[in-house]
Amino acid sequence: MTAGRAGKLTRRIGVPTAAILAFAVAIPATASALTVRGSVKQVHITGAVPGEALRLLDRGGKRIDTRFAGSLGGSVFRRVNPGKGYRVRAADGSLSAKVNVLSGKPAPKSTKLYDQVLPPGGYGYLTTRDGTQLAISVRLPGPADEGPYPTLIEYAGYGYANPAGPEAGISQLVNTLEYAVVDVNMRGTGCSGGAFDYFERLQSLDGYDVIETVARQPWVKNNRVGMVGVSYGGISQLFVGSTNPPRLAGITPLSVIDNTATTLYPGGILNTGFALEWAKDRVDDSKPASPTQGQGWAWNRIQNGDATCEANQVLHTEAVDLLGRIERNSTYRPKVADPLSPATFVGRIKAPVFMACQFNDEQTGGHCPNLADRFRGTKRQWFTFTNGLHTDSLDPATFVRWFDFMEIYVAREKPELPAFVKAAAPLVFQTIMGVNGVQLPDDPIQEQPTFEAAKSAFEKLPRVRILFDNGAGAAPNAPVPGFGRTFKRFPIPSTKAKSWFFGENGSLRNKPPKRGGTDLFLWDKEARPADNFTGTDTGSGDLWTASPSYDWQQPPAGTAVSYLTPPLTRDTGIIGAGALHAWIKASVPDVDLQVTVSEVRPDGKETYVQSGWLRTSMRKLDKRKSTLLEPVLSLRAEDAAKLPKKRFARVVVPLYYQGHAYRAGSRIRVMITAPSGDQPIWTFAETVPAGDANVTVSFSPKRQSRLILPLIPKFNAPTLLPACPALRGEPCRNYP
C-alpha cells in the first residue's frame, strides 16, 4: 500500500447521541412498554407483546389501521399520510405519545442529524432521519490521520457492512486505488435496523442521509463523496442519486437494470431463474438473524455481544412480502412499477454519471442502454456498452475510464493509477474473471499534465462508447474488445431501421415476398433446455472464466422456425434494440415466444447475439412510448387479449439491446421458439400453455413478417471475424 493522500484534517463536533435519537423518536406517554417512532409515511413500533393488536390513531383520535405485533414485538404501519399527532393504542388501552410522520421530500428541515461522528475506520452505526441505525463498515486505505481520503459509498442489501469483508462488494478493489469506502447495509438487512422493502422511498432517503453524514467526516476529502458498486450496489445509486444529496460528487452505476420488469418479467413472462431466485435470497437476507436464516455475519455479531445489532432485528419480521408482491404484480401497474423503474426517474439526477453495462449480462439482462437518453438532469454523463457478462463492467478498458471519472469528480485530482495497481492488474482480473494475463490499457487522460487538463480532456470525450467484439482483442474470451466506436448520444443519431422480410424456404430478404406462405412449429417447452449454461453458478470457476461451460444447443427438429439472410455483402453494424414483427396463428389462445438473433458465419459456426420474449396475450403496444426500433409493450392487465381462433394476429416481440458487428460473408438468423435455452441462468418454468401447441407463422405481401434491427450506416469493422468461441457472453455452436 502506498502512502495515504495528504491533506488537512478538519474535525467536526458531533451532537450527543440522545439528541440524534430525539430527532424522530417519541417517548411513550404512559406505562406501556411500546416505543413508537414516526418515519417517512410510516410509523414504527417496538416493545410490543408478540401478536398484540396495535391501533394507529390520527390526531383526532380516529383509528386509521390495526396491525398485530410480529414475533419479536415490532410492527410497521405503512402508507401513512405525512402529518402530526399520530398515536398508537396498545392492547391494554394505553396511548403512546404523539409522533410526526415525515414526507418523502429528500432534504430534511434540519441538517443537525448529519453532524454524527462515525468511526474513522472499522465497524459502526449511522443514524438516519427516522432514528433507524444502519450498519456500516468504514474501510480506509491507510491510517485516518494520513487522510483525508477521497471517499465512496457502497450501498445495498447484501452483507456489505460485514467487518470480515463485503458480500459481492468491490471495496477492497477500490481501497487499492487509495479511496476510502463506507460499506452500508440497507435497512432491514444484516445488523441494520428497520424493515426491508425492495427499493422503497425510505431506502433512497436513507442513502441521502448516508451521503450527507459521511461527507462531513474529517477523514473525507473535499467533504463530498461518490458512490460505487456493481449490480445491486449499482442500481441503488440510481435511486439515491435521484434524491440529489448536495454533497454527492458523482455516481458510477455498473451492470444495472433500467426497469425491474425487464429482468423479472421479460415480455410478460416470469423469469423463474436468476430474477426470482435473487428475490428469494433478498427475502431470506431480510429475516431476523438466527442460525438458520437472515445474514450469518449479523448472527455472529449478536453472539459476540453486539446489542445494537440484536435490537435492530426486531423490525426485520415486518419486511414486505416481496414474493407475494411479485405474484400480484405480473402486469404493469404504474403506482407499483414506476417507482421501481429507474427509467422513470434517472432524469432527476444532477450529479455526474459514469455508467457501464453489458448486452449479454446473464443476471440483470441486456436492457440497461435504455437509460442512456434519460439522464436529462446532468450534461456530465458517460456510458460504455459492450457484449459480455455481469462482471464485464470492470473490463480493463472500462476500469480505466471508471477510475478517471472518480479521480476527476470525487478525488478532484489528476488521474494517475498507482504503479503497483498496474502491476497487479493480471492478478485482479484473474480473481474477478478467471482470465490470465490481462493488462490495463494506456490511457490518454492520465497522460495529461495537470488536473485541469485531464478534466478538460475527459469532458470532451463523446458521451457514448460501444466496445465491439469483447473477447476478441487478445486471447479468446479475454475481456479485451476488438475495437470501439464513440457517439454523441444514444440511441445513435444516424441509426436506420433496417427490415429483413420472411420468405419461402426460411429466407430473410431485403424486400417483402411476392408470394405468401406459412411455416409451422411445435411449441414444446420440454424440448428446450432450461438455460445454455452447464456450470453450477456464475462465480469463479464457471461462467466467469476464460472457457465458460456453455451448452447452447440447436432446437430439436420441428420445434422452431428459422429465417436466414443471404451472405452480407459488407460489414453490418447493429447498435440498439429492434424487434420481430410476425403474423402468427396458434392452436391455443395464449403462447409464450422467444426470438433469437444470431450470426451464421462463413466457417459454419453460429454466434449468439440477442433475444426477445413475448407472452402473446400481452402483445398490445404502448403507442405513446413505442418507436419502430424500440417498441414498448403495454403489459397492462386491461390490455391482455387472447389470440383469435383460426386467424392470424400480428405480434411484435421487442428485442433486448445489442452492439454487434456482423461481418461481410456472414448471414443474420432469426428463430422463434418456446422460451429458454439462450440466456444463461434465465429460465422460464411457468410458461403458457401448460402443454404443447402448434404455432404457424405467416408471410405475404399483405402480412409482412419481418425482423427490424437498428443499422449504423457506412459501418466497417477494422478487425477480422473473431474466433468462435471467443466473444464474451456470446456462445458459439455449429450451424445448423
Q: Are 565 and 704 in contact (CB under 8 A)?
A: no
pLDDT at 718 over 80: yes
CATH of domain 496-734: 2.60.120.260
Collapsing DSSP states into helix, strand and coil, what is residue 525? Answer: helix
* Half-sphere exposure (Cβ direction) of 309: Cα atoms closer than 13 Å: 25
Q: Does residue 30 have a pLDDT over 50?
A: no
| 628 Cβ contact list (under 8 Å, min separation 6) | 497, 579, 708
Mean pLDDT of 713-736: 97
25-101 maps to which CATH number?
A: 2.60.40.10
Distance from C-alpha of 183 to C-alpha of 467, rounded to nearest angstrom: 31
Instruction: Give the C-alpha separation, 452 to 311, whole Å.
Output: 49
Per-residue pLDDT at 605 exceeds 80: yes
Indicate whether 11 pLDDT > 50: no
Say if strands 180-185 and 220-230 run parallel, antiparallel, or are unpaired. Answer: unpaired
The whole model's pTM is what?
0.94
Tell me the pLDDT band of 9, cut-offs 50, 70 and 90.
very low
| pLDDT over 70 at 3, yes or no | no
Superfamily of domain 109-250+287-320, CATH level 4? Alpha/Beta hydrolase fold, catalytic domain (3.40.50.1820)
| Tens-place pLDDT, residues 440-459 | 999 999 999 999 999 999 99
| DSSP designation for 556 | P
Q: What pLDDT was estimated at residue 540?
A: 58
Spell 2-26 as b/e; 16+ CB within 10 A means b: eebbeeeeeeeebeeeeebeebbbb
Residues 6+ apart with CB under 8 A from 714: none
User: Do 496-734 and 109-250+287-320 have the same topology in CATH?
Assistant: no
**Percentage above 70 pLDDT, the chain:** 95
Q: How many residues does the chain have?
A: 736
Question: Residue 13: is its pLDDT beyond 90?
Answer: no
Average of pLDDT values for 323-327? 97
Tell me: the pLDDT tens digits for 224-278? Answer: 999 999 999 999 999 999 999 999 999 999 999 999 999 999 999 999 999 999 9
| pLDDT bucket at 431, cuts 50 / 70 / 90 | confident
Is pLDDT of 27 > 50?
Answer: no
- E strands, 41-189, are 42-46, 53-57, 63-68, 75-78, 83-89, 99-101, 122-127, 133-139, 149-156, 180-185
Mean pLDDT in residue range 119-147: 97
Task: Show me where the domains of the chain are located.
Answer: 25-101, 109-250+287-320, 496-734
